[in-house]
Amino acid sequence: MTRVRMAVIGVGHLGQHHARILAGLPDVELVGVVDSSPEQARTVAARHDTAAFTDFEPLVGRVDAVSVVTPTIHHHRVAAAFLRAGVPVLVEKPICRTLAEADELIALAETAGVPLQVGHIERFNPAFEDLARRPITPKFVEAERHGPYTGRSVDIGAVLDLMIHDLDLLLALIGGRVRAVSAVGAAVFGGHEDMVNARLEFENGCVAHVTASRISQRAKRRLRVWAPEGYAGIDFVNRKLTLVQPGEELRR
């Protein structure tokens, strides 16, 4: 069996889990991990019996695919280098800091004819997958994603750090284009927003209220949907879907 040669660029809080999962897949050969901290790179590499690097460039041309889990400010530079070499890339969310950077990565992937996947993992939460399979036409959606301040992802704000998950889910669930957006946010600990409340109006008439906060005491990740077919509530932490729908007798 030919194994897929892969590497993980950035093995900090999240990247080390990418390395762990890839190392455990029988059809993957984890050929190396990269981190700007030599100690962190060596620690994760030793854990999975692979090579440690502090620079990603030596791995270009040595891998069949790569997982990019660096801070967001480095996503474009790292992913672009592998895409130009014709290497498929999984890049953690958010894809980039700016729309222009994201558009360039998409163009590079199309030119090279290779996959470019963004790590919107909530798309694959079993509760959301269950809801997405059901015939439902959302009219009002409320999404909340709150958590305590961790000191991570300080190069971006709460929109790209947290709310990006729910924006992706809304686009997948509701469909159509967004007609209007109004939002308010506040920066508490630094130069980027730490909490945001947004209202999105879709062309099909659906309205969504979305809040994201990284200064809350308790973690909360939930999505609630009201539709003609009934009510749906998702608890992403516990991977639980709650449905409230009228039965046939009540409909009659």
Note the pTM of the prediction, 2 decimals. Answer: 0.82
DSSP designation for 137 = -
Q: What is the pLDDT of residues 26-70, one digit of tens each?
A: 999 999 999 999 999 999 999 999 999 999 999 998 999 999 999
Average pLDDT across the chain, whole number: 92
Question: Do residues 67 and 35 touch, judged by C-beta distance below 8 A?
Answer: no
Q: Indicate the Cα dihedral angle 6, 10, 12, 17, nearest 10°.
A: -20
Q: Which residue has the higher pLDDT, 126 or 218?
A: 126
Percent of the chain scoring above 90 in pLDDT: 76
Nearest to 116 by CA among 164, 76, 169: 76
* In the chain, alpha helices (H): 15-23, 38-47, 75-84, 99-112, 126-132, 158, 164-174, 248-251
